[in-house]
Amino acid sequence: MFMSSSTQKVLKLSAELPLLEHLTLSGNILSYDVDVDAPRVVFPTVHTLVMNQTHTSSWVDLLRICRDHFPALRQLHAASNAITNQAMQLDAASPLSCSSAVEVLDLSHNELSDWSSLTASIGSWPRLHTLSLNGNRLVQVDPPSASSRSFAALSSLSLSDNAVDALNAFPSLEALRLTKNPLLTNVGAAEARMERQDAEQMYLRRILHEQSSLSAGSDKVIQLTHPRLAQLQALYPDIHAAHEAATTGLGTTGSGGGPAALAKSLAKVTFVVMSMNATTMDSMVKSLPLSMTVAQVKAVVEKKYGLRPAEHQLSFRASKKAMPIALDDDGGELGYFGVQDGGELLINDIW
């Protein structure tokens, strides 16, 4: 993380850090003071730019920074910047393409209420597959017209904590988060399908984790406690197969094998820092026991990054395209949340 109020000073880092891939500027009150006539300075290898809480309410300035100085950008995080519909419309009137390669965009906790402004400004981004708009003021989400290519690649959309009361379909949408929206008060089966699948998959992982932690011969207890287990295993065979493979790999005899050992198995995850208060922004790869609690993981974060447990929140995503899952119970085990090998633990400030 770099602390400065001048974009020009930030750009000077490019010469000192030519191989930088992840740049976090969160918490800086940035002003765009770059001489447009001067030779362009770029970060050629930065693929993730985090600009949360930078007071960059000018969407046009933010896109100019991305376009002119971050040619390899794949992820842009611009949460809590008071970005408005008007700011998005100014960009639409005089478009500044941020980057045709941007795949992940986080505009959570801004002041956006008009979906058409978003469509006009970012709907044409050809590779945008993940869009987070949590904590805005959106009331309705309109689908693209039959002749439109807006949000053609969008596969993951998060709209939690808005005022959404109407929602239609997107052509490539696979994951949808809608918690804390009026729409869910009278939601029907069709509209809830994706949200239900997400919940069912998480529930199945939790059952399997619970089953793994019990002694042999406890199948009847699991069946009584979770009567839908067989149905969920049939619905999501990939999750069941992964569990079976892990169990087989650990062996079925001896004190070190069998399902009980699976609960103590390790998941290799990458810690990704997005907090503006961390003492270092270096990512960390670590193998964690699935029986480890969220509180214990937060203690690891405190030791490595200097963030007290009350100052940060954790979420897990299985892949770059997956929607992050909040680890919102300090007493819950990692296995309970479906943490798996190869995923990422995201470290964020508490909003």
**Mean pLDDT along residues 344-351:** 87
b/e burial code for range 197-229 (CB count within 10 A of at least 16 → b): ebebbebbbbbbbbbbbeeeeeeeeeeeebeeb
Cα-to-chain-centroid distance, residue 12? 29
pTM above 0.75, yes or no: no
Least confident among 13-27, 61-75, 193-207: 193-207
The pLDDT value recorded for residue 189 is: 47
The pLDDT value recorded for residue 142 is: 82
The pLDDT value recorded for residue 4 is: 56
User: CATH fold of 7-186, please?
Assistant: 3.80.10
CATH number of 265-351: 3.10.20.90
Confidence of residue 94 (pLDDT cuts 50, 70, 90): low
For the chain, how many residues are written?
351
Q: Provide the CB-side half-sphere exposure for 256 (13 A, CA).
A: 2
Would you tell me how many other CB atoms lie within 10 Å of the CB of residue 130? 22
Q: Please enumerate in sequence order all residues whose Cβ is within 8 A of that of 255, keeping only pairs 6 or more positions apart, or say none.
A: none
Whether the pLDDT of residue 317 is over 70: the answer is: yes
Written as six digits, the tokens of 210 are: 């619970």
**Mean pLDDT along residues 42-68:** 89
Q: In the chain, where are the structural domains located? A: 7-186, 192-260, 265-351
